[in-house]
Amino acid sequence: MKLYIYDHCPFCVKARMIFGLKNIPVELNVLLNDDEETPTRMIGQKMAPILQKDDSRYLPESLDIVYYVDKLDGKPLLTGKRNPAIETWLRKVNGYVNRLLLPRIAKAPFDEFATPQARAYFVKKKEAAIGAFDEHLAHSAGLIKNINDDLRDLDKLIKQPNAVNGELSEDDIHLFPLLRNLTLVAGVEYPTRVADYRDNMAKQTQVNLLSSISI
């Protein structure tokens, strides 16, 4: 199977996670951010991730990919119950976190930005959505304080380092990609349980953290 992704994309991380958790090999293909032709040829629109299955058919949508791969062998891993408090926490943080993440993603050495045109495409699209990156970077201190406060709240919700609710569930698929992307932000402070969970999930899923390129 082949998985077409952007490295920075949390939805792509969701799809990558299930292959690591199940230890199923997959060929990762990073699309240039300004490549509209390739995904449109595959599924009729520009989006990622896209899974090319063994029968060569294409499957978009991160959660559809997750559940397809999880059930392939008839032994699904994501059988745990969800915790509404995790969903509430994610909704709160997702209300502001892109103001921290997107300006830094635009500066980072991701393969989807291998050409100046691909990086410029990303900046133009995302600034149109959230406003000037420089302005958000200038307000980083307040945003980092917010996320540090919210991570302390999250710490109280984590039951086990190998599964946020004690048993792998869809909550893990939604939570880890955000924590992974936050490692791109210098100055974020991780309470002990959050850090242990983040690091353990990175190992379980075989998805690298971004600490080495933090900004």
**CB 99 within 8 Å of CB 167:** no
Q: Which CATH class is domain 84-213?
A: mainly alpha
How confident is the model at residue 58, as a pLDDT?
98
198 pLDDT band, cuts 50/70/90, is very high
Tell me how far apart the alpha carbons of residues 78 and 172 are, in angstroms, rounded to a whole number: 9
Question: How do residues 116-130 score in pLDDT, each as one tens digit?
Answer: 999 999 999 999 999
Closest to 20 measured CA to CA, from 142, 190, 202, 210 = 202
pTM of the model: 0.96
CA 117, chain centre distance (Å): 23
Enumerate the β-bridge partners of residue 27. Answer: 2
What is the model's pLDDT at position 199? 98
83 confidence band (pLDDT: 50, 70, 90):
very high
* In this structure, CATH architecture of domain 7-70: 3-Layer(aba) Sandwich (3.40)
51 - beta bridge partners? 3, 59
Averaged pLDDT score across all residues of the chain: 97
Domain positions in the chain are 7-70, 84-213
Instruction: Give the helix ranges, DSSP H, for 23-139.
Output: 37-43, 62-70, 84-94, 98-105, 116-130, 133-138
CA distance 7 to 19: 15
Those residues with Cβ within 8 angstroms of residue 37's Cβ, 6 or more apart along the chain or in another chain = none
Q: Could you read off the pLDDT of 1-59 as tens digits, one per residue?
A: 999 999 999 999 999 999 999 999 999 999 999 999 999 999 999 999 999 999 999 99
The confidence score (pLDDT) of residue 99 equals 97
From residue 83, give the alpha-carbon distance in Å to each of 28, 131, 165, 181, 192: 31, 33, 7, 22, 20
Mean pLDDT over 78-89 rounds to 98
